[in-house]
Amino acid sequence: MSKRREIVKQTPSASIPKKFIGIGKIIKKQTKVERPTLTQDEQEMIENKLLCAYLSEEKISITYYRDGHLLTRYMTVTDINPIKNLITCTDASYNRIFLDFIDIIDLS
């Protein structure tokens, strides 16, 4: 009687994506920064630039704070809600992004 052996193929790279996810999380934790504090004058300048960008409907570069990181994107301001201090923007892919006023760090 002969025993039949089955060949089991292993995929050595199957665990690599899991390792990359773990490494990515470690790097994100190490690169976190504290929220920058803005002076009253800087906040007023940001308010004025936001209002001008909203009225002119032009794309502006917005640097904002989210989850311990400073992010910069080109966006168009589509709505400003002064009661909730919420700014609604759309990016180049027409994705809606909601930002709190305190999260906006810089405009250009």
Domain 40-107 fold is SH3 type barrels. (2.30.30)
pLDDT value, residue 22: 80
* Average pLDDT score, the chain: 86
67: left (phi over 0), alpha (psi -120 to 50) or beta: left
Asked if the model's pLDDT at residue 85 lies above 80, the reply is: yes
Per residue in 7-26, pLDDT (tens digit) is: 666 555 555 677 777 887 88
Q: What percent of the chain has pLDDT over 90?
A: 56
Asked if the model's pLDDT at residue 5 lies above 60, the reply is: yes
Q: What average pLDDT score do residues 81-108 get?
A: 92
For 70, phi and psi rounded to 5 degrees?
-95, 120
Is residue 108 a contact partner of residue 102, using CB atoms and an 8 Å limit?
A: no
pLDDT-derived band at 28 (thresholds 50, 70, 90) equals: confident
For 29, phi and psi rounded to 5 degrees?
-65, -35
pLDDT-derived band at 32 (thresholds 50, 70, 90) equals: confident
Sheet holding 59-66, edge to edge: 96-100, 86-91, 69-81, 59-66, 104-107
